[in-house]
Amino acid sequence: MSLTDTQSAILALIAERIDAEGMPPSQTEIAHAFGFKGVRAAQYHLDALEAAGAIERIPGRARGIRVLQAPRPPQGQIDFTPAKAAAANDDNALRVPLLGRVAAGLPIGADIGSDDYILLDRVLFAPAPDYVLRVQGDSMRDEGIFDGDLIGVHRTNDARSGQIVVARIGQEITVKLLKIGKDAIRLLPRNPDYAPIVVKPDDDFAIEGLYCGLVRPNTTRSVR
């Protein structure tokens, strides 16, 4: 059974941690490292690695994982190269366009318009993304969204208060936590160093999509 890029990167991370610390990462640590929404996705990939014969899990031992197959590439990283075209080789692969960047800080001018596509693992996202944006800034760090991350966006104009959205104010795009109050709409950062953005009644404002998951470039690869 062949491994997906994500599974290969997880295998490399496990081997690296065992070599450096004498024990593998926990499922929670794997989920955090790869931007998974929860441990269920980490469990899914560990099951796949075991089924492929790449690892062995030892019953009755916390973090009981033994690496049986040398990881490729080494050091837990897969080169990230934007691709003009991609071809999905398994049922869990999604081919989505990388459209540009989005601010996780103050809004920045949208850098949208690209022919680049990347392959994503379907299980990492809910709902499935329509496109991917590269994050610039750290205003959403407490939500686990960091500068340079690639976030999946489900295209919709509807959102509920409390959801993380990609919003447009004029010609600028930002990712924030949406709060709809009786007096105003606010776009809240998840970093105390940043102030909320209050949407004024006369602002040209729209919800462009819902945040639905992320990947980090050093654990993801595009295929030409």
Active site residues: 139, 176
Distance between CA atoms of residues 215 and 208, nearest Å: 20
Distance CA 48, CA 54 (A): 9
Cα dihedral 53, 55, 56, 60 sign: negative
Measured over all CA atoms, what is the biggest interatomic distance in the chain, rounded to whole angstroms? 61
Contacts 24+ apart (CB under 8 A), 17-22: 18/65, 18/67
Task: Measure the N-to-C terminal CA separation of the chain; round to a whole number of Å.
Answer: 22
Residue 73, preceding peptide bond in cis (omega within 30° of 0): yes
Closest CA to 67 of 1, 13, 27, 26: 13
Tally of CB atoms within 10 A around 24: 22
| 187 three-state secondary structure | strand
